[in-house]
Amino acid sequence: MRSQSLEDGGAAPWRDQRLSPTERADALLPRMSLEEKIAQLVGVWVGADASGEGVAPHQSDMISELPQWSTVIQYGLGQLTRPFGTAPVDPVSGARSLAASQAQIVAASRFGIPAQVHEECLTGFAAWRATVYPTPLSWGASFDPELVEAMADRIGRSMRAAGVHQGLAPVLDVTRDYRWGRTEETIGEDPYLVGTTGAAYVRGLERAGVVATLKHFAGYSASRGGRNLAPVPMGRRELADVILPPFEMALRLGGARSVMNSYAEIDGLPVAADSGLLTGLLRDEWGFTGTVVADYFAVRFLQTLHGVAGNAADAARLALRAGIDVELPTVDAFGEPLVEAARRGEVDEALIDCALRRVLIQKIELGLLDEGWQELPDDVASLRFDDEASQDVAVRLARESVVLLRNTGVLPLPVATRVALVGPVADDPMAMLGCYSFPNHVGVNHSDFGLGLDIPTLRGELARRVPMLTHEPGCAITGEDTSGIPAAVAAAAAADVCVLAVGDRAGMFGRGTSGEGCDAVDLRLPGVQADLVRAVLATGTPVVLVLMSGRPYALGPEFDGAAAVVQGFFLGQLGGQALAEVLTGAVNPSGRLPVSVPRDAGGLPSTYLAPPLGRRNKVSSIDPTPAYPFGHGLSYTTFEWSEATVVEPREDPAAWPVDGEVRVRITVANTGGRAGTEVVQLYLHDPVAQTTRPVVRLIGYTRLPLAPGEVAHVTFGVPADVASFTGLAGQRIVEPGDVELRFGRSSGDVAAALPLRLVGTERQVGFERELLTSVRIEPLVAVPQSA
């Protein structure tokens, strides 16, 4: 139980739960000294390692000397940084240690305010022995926001049970260049898919009582050359129409209570110093009332990396004025430099009060200032971070996110087949895990502790299902050693089928082939893996090419000889099981590409959101047409799409009011011999607009499970607001004119198109516009298989 301080006397108004959080914060704030105020605006990272093998940019440069614990908490403390995610710690021991730290923080300060505790949670609670879920690219590949929401709920429950209040997820960056190492952390290349999926994650985390932190606001993924933390040469329309919508959706549809700034500088202005973005847009226009936290060391980076601040105090002033409330990960510019600058009058104390008020309100909402608050959960002795319910969600999401790109009939693998399993990721448990999973993010620096989890490999899971299995790695993920290729070729030549598993190893800052700071020069497979693929394909044995990666790699003509191609994006701790189930037919694949798969490794990567001149044309010798387009994915059954029609409006079906809704419907039937799930996608085509527009863009989708012979109507209700874009004047508008709604199996495979006309006068819309296309599924009477 929290001890009472002399100041609050047991009856302080800021502890009165009958008052609103705002009233309680307003009662406390005036009583605090300058030092006490600023102490609430910083985090402390007591377990940070300055050895150079850290988990944040320039960590070894920024943490040269850790402050004394007693000194740093003497006026209170805003946040505790990653008590579980800095080094391996047993769940129960970690919770008890955290509770002891909280007790010291409460006892040391006049007002007894606990710290808000944050952790990473992108692929699960980033703690030792916690369930590792598939990466965000896999969330996108599932096209299943409901399952992502269930995953986030499981993550949030485990965090809150351990005493953690805030999660630094989801990542809502829309990937713009696949060479960027953090592509694996993105949900995909389409803002509607990213926004709907990201909002679902937020709902799950927030429902569990954990503050979701949207990152990275905004523009981080649009860096020049796909380089991490590089300048962003982005125009305002790309920012407004591609980058910002997922954040709008996560705030309005998810209820996120925190936002983290992007490291990016957009057109020469670092986001951490951009008041127009962090205050003008986020707070004034969008009405966001939560907290803005700094990405790790981003405040000091205004001085050390961007060169827009002369010293730490100047960096603190710029960040605070822009709208950053809390400096993370540890006390630095918002510490003594800010205190001294405020005393000299260089920083208006009203800015400090404004940030503090938001911080206090959030702590009150979390119950940290309530009379009954406890440092240690009652059931801490039974605390587990990896349980059967979590594993069930993890494997279901992995199954749904496996994408079958090509199949000439070799899949599913017959049980009696002689199979050669070849490739460097086939027997590597780490090949299942993303950069922000604990084993890859932190555990690699603490190898003595082990993985803390049972992570079956593809080899182990396939061997359980295919008795006649041989294995040869062929080569490593990186490096130039080709000495193992002859043995792999021999194994493939002696088999009926070869499963060839290639891909990535996630890491940090050059320690992997994918992940933060692990950017790629081009989209060739790392190391000599392409040589291995060519050699195995030359045997003539049917090859099932399996890619286990954090980004799409180019699959040009040299890969066309593969009998089947399967893509998985870091499928999590049970990804090996999911892949083996798909390969052997126990699971019918239903994943769809959240990113296009390029054909050319050397051409400038571009996503499907391109205007006509961004597509293949006669004015350039470069053909950017992908090998497999966004939304593509195959099944072991077949589906027939028919009877596309406009349901509403009935009077003039082609007329779509600029302030109204159109309802369109298509009929889908499972015409194959086994149950399967189709992903029905709806795209907008706007042939003539006042600014150039993508040829198509996703505006609706749904998963549709159907038994053999089963038929269903799928109806989309599309608000005209969904067709809006940024016009000539820089405002978001719905423009009258001809458009087309396209039912697609992918962005490149149109099953049916409905010509429509937006009618009325040009209409301006803003943050409160309709964001979602509704979906209704009407099962029909099943028809005979032969029908």
E strand or H helix at 296 = none
Q: Would you say the C-alpha torsion 238, 241, 246, 250 has a positive or negative sign?
A: positive
pLDDT-derived band at 8, boundaries 50, 70, 90? very low
Is 262 in contact with 215 (CB distance < 8 Å)? yes
d(CA 160, CA 275): 33
Could you give the percent of the chain with pLDDT greater than 90? 85
Region 317-327: mean pLDDT is 98
The 3-state DSSP class for residue 525 equals: coil
> Residue 50 pLDDT > 90, yes or no?
no
pLDDT digits (tens, 9 = 90+) for 549-572: 999 999 999 899 999 999 999 999
User: What pLDDT is attached to residue 617?
Assistant: 86
What is the identity of the amino acid at 41? L
pLDDT-derived band at 651, boundaries 50, 70, 90? confident
The 3-state DSSP class for residue 582 equals: helix
User: What pLDDT is attached to residue 6?
Assistant: 42
User: What pLDDT is attached to residue 460?
Assistant: 97
d(CA 78, CA 38): 8
CA distance to 15, 44, 200, 239, per residue, from 331 (Å) = 27, 6, 33, 32
d(CA 465, CA 451): 25
Burial class of 224 by CB neighbour count within 10 A (0 to 12, 13 to 18, 19+): exposed
The backbone region for 355, taken as left when phi is positive above 0, alpha when psi lies in -120 to 50, beta otherwise, is: alpha
User: What pLDDT is attached to residue 415?
Assistant: 86
Burial class of 479 by CB neighbour count within 10 A (0 to 12, 13 to 18, 19+): exposed
User: What pLDDT is attached to residue 87?
Assistant: 86
Residues 6+ apart with CB under 8 A from 378: none
pLDDT digits (tens, 9 = 90+) for 578-636: 999 999 999 999 999 999 999 999 866 689 999 998 888 888 888 889 999 999 999 99
Indicate the average pLDDT of the chain: 93
User: What pLDDT is attached to residue 54?
Assistant: 63
User: What pLDDT is attached to residue 62?
Assistant: 65
CA 185-187-191 angle, to 5 degrees, is: 130
> Residue 438 pLDDT > 80, yes or no?
yes
User: What pLDDT is attached to residue 778?
Assistant: 96
Is 634 in contact with 405 (CB distance < 8 Å)? yes
Could you give the percent of the chain with pLDDT greater than 70? 95
Burial 511-540 (b: 16+ CB within 10 A, else e): bbbbbbbbbbebbebbbbbbebbebbbebe
DSSP string, 528-580: THHHHHHHHHTT-S-EEEEEE-SS-----GGGTT-SEEEEES---TTHHHHHH
For residue 508, the Cα-to-chain-centroid distance in whole angstroms is 17
pLDDT digits (tens, 9 = 90+) for 102-131: 999 999 989 999 999 999 999 999 999 999
Is 201 in contact with 170 (CB distance < 8 Å)? yes
User: What pLDDT is attached to residue 620?
Assistant: 87
Sheet holding 211-217, edge to edge: 43-44, 79-81, 116-119, 166-167, 211-217, 258-261, 291-293
pLDDT digits (tens, 9 = 90+) for 229-246: 999 999 999 999 999 999
d(CA 779, CA 668): 10
CA 463-468-472 angle, to 5 degrees, is: 70
E strand or H helix at 246 = helix 245-249
> Residue 653 pLDDT > 90, yes or no?
no
Is 141 in contact with 572 (CB distance < 8 Å)? no
User: What pLDDT is attached to residue 441?
Assistant: 83
pLDDT digits (tens, 9 = 90+) for 363-390: 999 999 998 888 877 778 888 999 999 9
pLDDT digits (tens, 9 = 90+) for 443-476: 788 888 888 899 999 999 999 999 999 999 999 9
What pTM value is reported for the model? Answer: 0.96
User: What pLDDT is attached to residue 782?
Assistant: 67
Is 643 in contact with 652 (CB distance < 8 Å)? no
Q: Strand 43-44 relative to strand 79-81: parallel, antiparallel, unpaired?
A: parallel
User: What pLDDT is attached to residue 1?
Assistant: 37
Residue with tokens 């049916």: 752
> Residue 3 pLDDT > 50, yes or no?
no
Among the listed residues 363, 380, 383, the one whose alpha carbon sits nearest the alpha carbon of residue 106: 363
pLDDT digits (tens, 9 = 90+) for 746-782: 999 999 999 999 999 999 999 999 999 999 999 987 6
Region 434-442: mean pLDDT is 90
Q: Strand 166-167 relative to strand 211-217: parallel, antiparallel, unpaired?
A: parallel
User: What pLDDT is attached to residue 9?
Assistant: 45
d(CA 554, CA 599): 5
> Does 127 or 787 have the greater pLDDT score?
127
CA distance to 289, 296, 333, 681, per residue, from 273 (Å) = 19, 15, 14, 39
> Residue 429 pLDDT > 90, yes or no?
yes
User: What pLDDT is attached to residue 5?
Assistant: 46
Is 706 in contact with 657 (CB distance < 8 Å)? no
Region 148-172: mean pLDDT is 97
- Residue 665, token pair as written in the block: 């419907």
